[in-house]
């Protein structure tokens, strides 16, 4: 098919990035790797080893063997992000995701929090690390790491927060080049997590509990007398803000009021850049913050709101590229499946960017499936059609059933 076909375009982007990587890879692995990522976008039903063997040119056993190999997903996706994320403001997004799974011998299976169910459920959990673009409101998944179960963590004398910090610490040299900000939900607004991040030269942007103890920083200058200098003046009353200490920021969605100030957080034991959101009726409020005191209130709220883009990566991978469908019973093979599923979505975004079309994972998968079948029919029939004369027909067949932008 022509170089401009969607299959070759997908393969071409993947090949270009593999050639730029510092890790040396065998040609046979590169070929299988590209085939695997294409199959994740082509297979219409469940994506497992059996299906990969049915649709691919390699046998099922070859896929099983290669899924146990190490691959630098972080480097691959960071290079891919340069093609997709074109904005200037970026941040590292961190978010755990529940993976529905059963079985007695599945490694690290246990009880984890499921946001969709609103309770803990038996299954697996992955910690997703992504790079978000604040200006273009987009996200690229960088790497997913499986979380050990409670018993394994206890044997290592570690907590979930310790594990999350360990994962980020293993990637810090590469991540800090992309951004010095980490964006995470309210669960991560803990002193030990913030301290761990700051030791890695990261700043956290997150949300506090609505009843968090916050204080106005003192306006008094150090007296020079013995004793600890005064840190704060009084506790912030959210029902009666001191207007002389806050700055009102304009809200784009016009669904409430935003106020910014520097405040002392008792739980984090430091001053933070705080943004208070009030509903129109002033009955409810939300607290957003950054440990970088110099960060503007507008940036704090925009960075945090863009965090939800990593949730869309999980949604697309779970719904279309088999994030939860691997039948492997090995940590390495499960890890390969998690990252291949998320990376195939990243590549789809890169193709949409090159074609200058709106990204829709449903449409993209439909077109990839149609192009794959068309190529298979032509190859099996032995006919060599005139692509120039039949370009319109080929385009119609590939885009058949795709959702209109």
Same domain, yes or no, for 68 and 149? yes
The answer to whether the beta carbons of residues 161 and 190 sit under 8 Å apart is yes
pLDDT band for 1, please (50, 70, 90 cuts): very low
* Domain limits for position 314: 1-184+307-363
Least confident of 108-122, 183-197, 221-235: 221-235
Return the H-helix or E-strand segment holding 293.
none
Percentage, residues of the chain above pLDDT 90: 77
Tokens standing for residue 113:
């929090």
Same domain, yes or no, for 159 and 256? no
Give the single-character DSSP code of 224.
-
Residue 204 lies inside a defined structural domain of this protein: no
Same domain, yes or no, for 285 and 317? no
User: CA nearest 207: which of 181, 179, 188?
Assistant: 188
- What rounded mean pLDDT belongs to the chain? 91
Same domain, yes or no, for 85 and 146? yes
Same domain, yes or no, for 287 and 333? no
Q: How does pLDDT run across 294-335, given as a tens digit for each residue?
A: 999 999 999 999 999 999 999 999 999 999 999 899 999 999
Same domain, yes or no, for 223 and 274? yes
Same domain, yes or no, for 155 and 81? yes
- Rounded average pLDDT over 110-133: 96
Q: How does pLDDT run across 214-237, given as a tens digit for each residue?
A: 999 988 877 777 777 788 888 999
Same domain, yes or no, for 106 and 225? no
Number of domains in the chain: 2
User: CA nearest 168: which of 127, 209, 123, 212?
Assistant: 127
Residue 18 lies inside a defined structural domain of this protein: yes
pLDDT band for 387, please (50, 70, 90 cuts): low
Same domain, yes or no, for 71 and 154? yes
Residue 205 lies inside a defined structural domain of this protein: no
Residue 373 lies inside a defined structural domain of this protein: no
């Amino acid at each position: 098919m022509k170089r401009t076909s969607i299959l070759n375009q997908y393969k071409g982007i993947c090949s270009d990035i593999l050639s730029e990587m510092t890790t040396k890879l065998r040609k046979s692995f590169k070929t299988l790797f590209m085939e695997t990522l294409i199959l994740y976008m082509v297979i219409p039903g469940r994506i497992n080893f059996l299906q990969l063997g049915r649709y691919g040119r390699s046998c099922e056993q070859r896929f099983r063997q290669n899924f146990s190999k190490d691959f630098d997903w972080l480097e691959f996706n960071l290079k891919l992000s340069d093609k997709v994320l074109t904005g200037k403001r970026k941040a590292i997004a961190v978010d755990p995701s529940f993976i529905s799974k059963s079985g007695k011998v599945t490694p690290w299976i246990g009880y984890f929090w499921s946001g969709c169910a609103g309770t803990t459920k038996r299954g697996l959990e992955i910690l997703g690390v992504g790079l978000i673009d604040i200006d273009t409101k987009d996200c690229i998944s960088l790497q997913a790491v499986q979380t050990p179960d409670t018993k394994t963590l206890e044997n290592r004398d570690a907590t979930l927060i310790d594990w999350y910090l360990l994962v980020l610490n293993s990637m810090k040299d590469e991540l800090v080049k992309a951004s010095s900000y980490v964006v995470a939900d309210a669960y991560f607004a803990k002193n030990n997590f913030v301290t761990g991040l700051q030791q890695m030269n990261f700043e956290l942007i997150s949300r506090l509990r609505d009843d968090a103890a916050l204080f106005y920083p003192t306006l008094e200058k150090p007296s020079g007398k013995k004793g600890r200098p005064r840190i704060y003046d009084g506790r912030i009353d959210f029902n009666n803000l001191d207007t002389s200490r806050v700055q009102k920021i304009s809200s784009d969605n016009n669904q409430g009021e935003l106020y910014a100030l520097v405040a002392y957080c008792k739980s984090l034991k430091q001053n933070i850049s705080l943004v208070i959101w009030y509903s129109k009726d002033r009955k409810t409020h939300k607290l957003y913050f950054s440990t970088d005191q110099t960060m503007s209130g507008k940036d704090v709220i925009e960075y945090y709101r863009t965090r939800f883009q990593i949730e869309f990566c999980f949604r697309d991978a779970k719904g279309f590229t088999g994030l939860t469908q691997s039948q492997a019973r090995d940590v390495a093979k499960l890890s390969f499946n998690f990252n291949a599923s998320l990376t195939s979505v990243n590549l789809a975004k890169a193709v949409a960017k090159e074609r200058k079309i709106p990204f829709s994972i449903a449409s993209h998968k439909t077109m990839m499936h149609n192009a794959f079948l068309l190529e298979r029919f032509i190859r099996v029939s032995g006919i060599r059609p005139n692509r120039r004369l039949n370009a319109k027909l080929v385009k119609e067949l590939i885009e058949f059933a795709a959702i209109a932008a």
